[in-house]
Structure 1
Amino acid sequence: MTTVVLDSPNYHVHINNQILHIQHNSAPPRLLPLHAIDRVVLGKGITLSTDLQLALAAAGKDLIVIGRKHCVSLFNPHAAPNNVRIRQYQAVCVPAKRAALIRALLDARREGQNRVLAKLDCAQLPAIDHTHAHPMLQEAQMSHQYWRQWAVAFYHDGFKGRERQPPHDPINALLSLTSTLEDQALAPALLAEGFDLTIGVHHATGYRRASLILDIKELTRAELELWVIAQWQAGTFTPAHFSSTSAGCRLTREGQQQFYPKWFAWQKKRRQRLRRLARLCRHYIERA
């Protein structure tokens, strides 16, 4: 199956008789049968028809649109007929329950980060003292220590610290891209368990964001970072796969051709694991 990636602006994409038509003023048109396509990944500035969106949804194909800060995906959500959302609201609204969930998230994040630091042969993060510091201050201190260790481990690769908007080196670019794509990976599993994606526990609800996904990414962040480390250390990606402009560091066309097949092949392997994670989160909320 094929992943169609269009990252440059001014493409026009539509469908006719189950054939995907890809047009651009500076290139000859391309035709691809819909049945041979697994997913379509688009960047900014691309025009697509609503008929294409409906055809992709009907065929069970993924449509992912990636911007500088956000990722939008098209899929058919199957929300479970249960009362998880009510339990979720209760957990957020009761201070003691919310505080317990935040502590659990921070502890899980620290545990995951220590696994990453062990992979890098770096010093471990100390245990969190939940009795004094504010959770946001604890998170900031933990992040500072964590990325300082990364800066030492990847000093010769140009990584000086975590930079998100925009990333200025290849490792930061990979970290940001995988984190953005993780939203699309987590959303179907969480919706299938009946969660409200906009109601966060640790990350404040609002700001027009899926706050719950930001919470759950605390549980999968280490897995993403270990994947990035493995790809970088294996030489799958090198500085030659990236280009830098005033908009930051990003994958070249060759880099995209290398990245997306590997990323989606990995996602296929971990799909069941993410579903189990969403189920465990539901059980945790119900017990809380």
Structure 2
Amino acid sequence: MATLWLDQKDLELRAEADTLIIERQGERLQRLPVALLERAVIQSKVRLDSTVLGALAEAGVATLILSPRHARRTALVLGLPHADASVRLAQYRACEDADFCLRLSRVLVRAKIQRCRIVLGHALTLRGDLRYPLTQALERLARLRQSLAEDARSIQTLRGIEGAAAAAYFAAYTQLFASELGFTERNRRPPRDPVNAVLSLAYTLLHFEAVRLAHAHGLDPSLGFFHDLAYGRESLACDLIEPVRAEVDHWVWRLFAERQLRAEHFSRDGGAVLLGKAGRAIFYQAHETATAQWSRRLRRYTRALVRILRAHTATAEHGT
């Protein structure tokens, strides 16, 4: 299964039976069976009609539309809803159980901290010149992971531990990049350096994948357990991607370290740094391989969550 990337101007997309036709100014560029797709990402001016969106949705293909310049999500079209509403009902009930939310959130944060330690541990094998800051961060993360069992007695405390872990991790992570990239902290809306521009795009796509998988498995992407309910936010998707973010960070680091992406692939628009057309082509090609691993991990998490929710509901019903 694959991603359909549409990042060129003046494309036209048509649906014929179970096939997508991609054309430009009357010239046919590609025929693509819908059955081969899992997702579509549009970041350019593309002409299409409702039959295309209908064909994609009916086949379970989610479509993400990004703004052409800033790679910000402007629309999301998901496939048909899951037929079994009992999954969502179990999710709604579990979200009202504070102990359940805390237990599940503790698992997510522990997995996130461990993945951050793996990324920095790998960096330590390659960057001996950064031994001190990397070792300091690894030790700090180890202490915070230990505190999960001892101190995380409430969701507020757990969020404090997660925030401290993220700060320790990023303090070391930023030092992995060349100084001329200007990456000293995480910033967004807009990203102010090339690394943050790529991280923002990668996180947007990861979040999209989590929303897509949650929806496909009958879950409500907006109702999370670790992240609070917030207007306009898919909090469950935010939960699911927490243990995977560091894998994305590692991938972004290697894109720059191996000079697949370089400063000349970026431009400035006021205070924002934008990834140019040539850079996006490199990004999308590399992302297609990497996202397969991230998607498998997210799918496992999503399926495990559905099983846990069903078990939680069964236990609650048996208890009553």
Q: Please state if 1:142 is matched with 2:172.
A: no
- d(CA) in 2 for partners of 1:60 and 1:284? 24
Q: Give the Cα–Cα distance (whole angstroms) in 2 for the partners of residues 174 and 95 of structure 1.
A: 36
| Residue 130 (structure 1) aligned with residue 168 (structure 2) | no
Over 3 Å counting, the alpha-carbon distance change for 1:184 and 1:225 in structure 2 is: same
Shift of 1:59: 6.5
Letter in 1 for 2:6: V
Cα deviations by residue, 1:227-248 (Å, 9 ceiling, x for unpaired): 2122222222121222222251
Query: In the superposition, relative to structure 1, how do residues 7 and 146 fare at CA in structure 2: closer, same or farther (>3 Å)?
Result: farther
Question: What is the CA-CA distance between 1:268 and the residue it aligns to?
Answer: 3.6
Partner amino acid for 2:171?
R
Q: Secondary structure at the match of 1:168?
A: coil
Q: Which runs of 5+ in 2 are unaligned?
A: 125-133, 313-320
TM-score (norm 2): 0.75
Number of matched pairs: 281
* Paired residues of 2:244 and 2:294 also in contact (CA < 8 A): no
What value does the CA root-mean-square deviation take over the aligned residues? 3.1
Which secondary structure state, in structure 2, belongs to the residue aligned with residue 209 of structure 1? coil
Aligned to 2:235, which of 182, 188, 211?
211
Q: Which residue of 2 aligns with 1:20?
A: 22
3-state SS, counterpart of residue 32 of structure 2: helix
Q: TM-score, normalized by length of structure 1?
A: 0.82
1:111 aligns with 2:114: yes
**5+ unaligned residues in a row in structure 1: which ranges?**
24-28
Q: Which residue of 1 aligns with 2:131?
A: none
Contact 1:80–1:192, Cα closer than 8 Å, also in 2: no
> In structure 1, what is the equivalent of residue 264 of structure 2?
240
Residue 274 (structure 1) aligns with: 298
**Mapped pair 1:84 → 2:81:** no
Evaluate the alpha carbon distance shift between residue 5 and residue 88 of structure 1 in structure 2; reply closer, same or farther with a 3 A threshold.
same
70, 76, 90: which one aligns with 2:73: 70
Pairing of 1:47-62 with structure 2 (within 5 A): 48-57=48-57
Partner of 2:169, secondary structure, is helix
Is the CA contact 2:197–2:274 (under 8 Å) kept in the aligned structure 1? Answer: yes
Distance 1:130 1:263 in 2: 35
2:6 is aligned to 5
Preserved contact between residue 62 and residue 212 of structure 2 (Cα < 8 Å) = no
- What's the CA shift for 1:163? 0.9
Instruction: Report Cα offsets for 1:114-140 as digits up to 9, x if no partner.
Output: 112212221311223314863333333
Equivalent-residue separation in structure 1 for 2:262 and 2:254 (angstroms): 12
Inter-partner Cα distance in structure 2 for 1:270 and 1:79: 22
- 2:177–2:256 Cα contact (<8 Å) kept: no
Q: Given residue 103 of structure 1, which amino acid in structure 2 is its aligned partner?
A: R
The residue type equivalent to 2:163 in the other structure is: A
Which region of structure 1 is more displaced relative to structure 2, 125-134 or 102-111?
125-134
Report sequence identity in percent. Answer: 26
Distance 1:139 1:276, change over 3 A: closer
Sort the Cα spacing of 1:139 and 1:4 in 2 relative to 1 into closer, same or farther, 3 A. closer
Q: Which residue in the other structure is 2:200 paired with?
A: 176
Q: Give the helix-richer structure, 1 or 2.
A: 2
Deviations 1:168-192 (A, max 9, x none): 1221111111110012322333233
Instruction: Identify the match of residue 223 of structure 2 among 181, 196, 199.
Output: 199
Q: Deviations over 1:207-235 (max 9, x none)?
A: 12211001101121122112212222222
